[in-house]
Structure 1
Amino acid sequence: MTQLPLDDLTAAVARIRGLLLTEEKVDRAVSLLAKAIKESLPGSPGAGVSLLDAEGKRTSSAATDSLVEKLDAAQYELGEGPCLTSWAAGKVVIIEDLQTDTRWPRWQTAVASLPVRSVVSAPLVAGKEALGAFKIYSALPGQYDESTGRALALFAETAATLLAHIQGTEAPLRMAESLKASLASRDTINRACGMLMERQGISHERALQQLIQNARVSGATLVEASEQLATRVPPAGL
């Protein structure tokens, strides 16, 4: 089981903080953060950082290798996967073995030929703003557990604060104020997920996945898609 060296990760953020705050470039920030994760972890797993807009589409991202780029690209193309779920739900997502985890069937099928078995993703949340997600991929099964997730979440919180500062001072801003407000409304998203779970008898992950898909198809934000669902009268019998 891989243990995240939280002190090393935090030190890595501290080392690059001064440089990032002077250059104030989001793309460089996510690149250095992805590299810091990879260099701080044993076994050199693949790592990535993504900043997302209201529909779960990338506004900025960085990956430590081409494998991570392929794994991430499949998520954003299909509109499902652990990184998107982590961002949308605001929680750590862990896959112990991708071969047996069926929460994201289309993504699982799309990356079946790639050397990845374990995944952990943590949301980048600064205050009430959901900026994106960290993710780590390993070729071995059973590499990450809840303690791994807690450590990564703490690191992600520190990194998100740094990224939020850079986004707030970079010109032009990467996120509009309306987007920031919409991403903060977790209660609306959770209510909509609960309604789908009750009506269709599906899991929270599947309900959230369906909301993301609805938002992408309609061009609405995730919150707007959730509000539309909450105000829609269900068909008879549901």
Structure 2
Amino acid sequence: MDGPRVLADMALELEQDRDPRSILERVSHYARLVLDADDAGVMRVVTRQKVETPAATTERVDQAHQLQSQFDEGPCLDAITGRATYVANDVANDPRWPRWGPAVVDIGILSAIGVRLATRERGYGSLNIYADRVHAFTPADVELAEVLAAHATTAFAAAERAAGLETALESRTTIAQAQGILMQKFDIDADAAFDFLRRISQHENRRLHAVAEAIVVQRNANARPE
């Protein structure tokens, strides 16, 4: 397979994709394809004892991830916490993960690569690639995996920032709408309306946006014709 060409095609696809989850799915697919692997996916850590799999080529990837969380060991977990790339070409006999290795063999995985997904400022998880044969990955494969991870991290970070900005804009718009409703209803100015929202938020222990959204939804419901 023409690895560089496939990577170039992937980079173009990722540049046009603005959905963070879709980006992770694409990268997982390409990782399996480029490295002639059997499975690939992304792990994100909630806590050391709880991980999630936001993207995977099959359900087995999440099984492999959950086993790492269960035993608190494994190349993908270490790729995140150790800030490095970990390769296991014979998981059953790798002394670094004596419990996870034999357990993951039971679901057919014999080799694995875990590559950290991170920018200089922030870690996002790990890109993990699995094969059903021993000695599946060469040093060249590891380099390709790291290039894939770099592309994935750049695209994912950009998409997440864009999504965050869009969410923030929607939140500000909703809060402004709620302020307008309160100003009209109680004949108060914008500052007083915002303070009213803030007090409700604190009293009910709810996010300001959620309070504002409830007011807007209620007003729209009342405005509908019978």
Give TM-score, length-normalised by structure 1. Answer: 0.61
CA contact (8 A) 2:51 2:65 kept: no
Unpaired segments ≥5 residues, structure 1: 174-238
Structure 1 residues 147 and 36: CA distance shift in structure 2, 3 A: closer
Task: For residue 160 of structure 1, give the secondary structure of its aligned residue in structure 2.
Answer: helix
2:101 is aligned to 108
Larger CA Rg, structure 1 vs 2:
2
Q: Deviations over 1:72-121 (max 9, x none)?
A: 22112332210011111221111011121121122123223121111111
Question: Among 30, 41, 54, which residue is 1:36 paired with?
Answer: 30
Task: State how far apart, in whole Å, the 2-side matches of 1:143 and 1:45 are.
Answer: 10
Q: Deviations over 1:184-213 (max 9, x none)?
A: xxxxxxxxxxxxxxxxxxxxxxxxxxxxxx
Task: State how far apart, in whole Å, the 2-side matches of 1:32 and 1:130 are.
Answer: 19
The 5 Å alignment of 1:17-166 reads 17-18=15-16, 20-21=17-18, 25-42=19-36, 44-53=37-46, 55=48, 57-58=50-51, 61-166=54-159
Task: State how far apart, in whole Å, the 2-side matches of 1:57 and 1:14 are.
Answer: 33
Task: State how far apart, in whole Å, the 1-side matches of 2:118 and 2:5 are.
Answer: 20
CA contact (8 A) 2:31 2:148 kept: no
Q: Residue type of the partner of 1:30?
A: L
Q: Residue type of the partner of 1:101?
A: D
Task: For residue 140 of structure 1, give the secondary structure of its aligned residue in structure 2.
Answer: coil
Task: State how far apart, in whole Å, the 1-side matches of 2:35 and 2:93 are.
Answer: 25
Q: Which has the higher helix share?
A: 2
Q: Residue type of the partner of 1:64?
A: T
Structure 1 residues 34 and 73: CA distance shift in structure 2, 3 A: same
Task: State how far apart, in whole Å, the 1-side matches of 2:66 and 2:59 are.
Answer: 10
The total of aligned residue pairs comes to 166
Structure 1 residues 57 and 11: CA distance shift in structure 2, 3 A: farther
Structure 1 residues 109 and 59: CA distance shift in structure 2, 3 A: closer
Task: For residue 105 of structure 2, give the secondary structure of its aligned residue in structure 1.
Answer: coil
Identity score, percent? 20
Instruction: Give the C-alpha shift of residue 156 in structure 1.
Output: 0.8
Q: Residue type of the partner of 2:27?
A: L
Task: State how far apart, in whole Å, the 2-side matches of 1:79 and 1:6 are.
Answer: 35
Task: For residue 122 of structure 1, give the secondary structure of its aligned residue in structure 2.
Answer: strand
Structure 1 residues 142 and 132: CA distance shift in structure 2, 3 A: same
CA contact (8 A) 2:78 2:86 kept: yes
CA contact (8 A) 1:122 1:134 kept: yes
Task: For residue 131 of structure 1, give the secondary structure of its aligned residue in structure 2.
Answer: strand
